[in-house]
A = this chain, B = another copy of it.
C-alpha cells in the first residue's frame, strides 16, 4: 500500500496514522463537526507519510478502483482539516503534513524540513515565540498568524553518510 523503502524512520510515520484519525474523530465530535469519509481519507493519506503531500498527490492516491477524487474536493477537505489544526500547510512546498502533536491552538510551530530525506518534523519553542513576540511588539506589529519553516538536514540524515 505504501512505500517503506525510504530513509525516514520517524515516529510520526504510519504507526501514528490511526492515532491521528482517532484524535480527529474525537475532536470533530467535541466541536460538533462532520468527520466525513472524504475528510477521513484525506487525513489518513497525509498522516501516513512523513513527507508533505501536494493536493494533487492526495487526489491521485484516493482515486482508482472506480473512485475518482478531484483535486478541488481534496482542497476543501484540506481547508477543513487545517482550520481545525489537524493538518498544516507547508508554504515553502505548497504541500501538507498531518499535525503530529496535541499543542494548544495558539502554539507557534516550527517545521523542520529535511533536504535529504524530505521528511518533516514539527516542534514548538516557547523561547523563540517569546523573542519573536518581543520583536514584533518593538516594531508595533500585531501578529495574527505566522509561518516558521527551516530547511536543512535532520538528525538521522546527518548521522548517515551522504548517498554517493
Contact = CB atoms under 8 A, between A and B. Distances in A.
A148 interface: yes
B132 A153 contact: no
Contact of A152 (B92, B143, B152): B143
A147 interface: yes
Contact of A127 (B91, B134, B146): B134
Taken together, the copies of this chain in the complex come to: 2
B140 A151 contact: no
Interface in A126-145: 127-128, 130-132, 134-136, 139-145
A157 to B, nearest CB: 9
A110 interface: yes
A117 interface: no
A73 interface: no
A28 B62 CA distance: 49
B132 A143 contact: no
A69 interface: no
Contact of A135 (B123, B142, B143, B155): B123
Interface of A: 91-92, 110, 112, 114-115, 121, 123, 125, 127-128, 130-132, 134-136, 139-155, 158
30 contacts: A91-B92, A91-B149, A92-B147, A121-B139, A121-B141, A125-B132, A127-B131, A128-B128, A128-B131, A130-B131, A132-B148, A132-B150, A136-B152, A139-B155, A140-B155, A140-B158, A141-B152, A141-B153, A141-B155, A142-B152, A143-B150, A143-B151, A144-B151, A144-B153, A145-B150, A146-B149, A146-B150, A147-B147, A147-B148, A148-B148
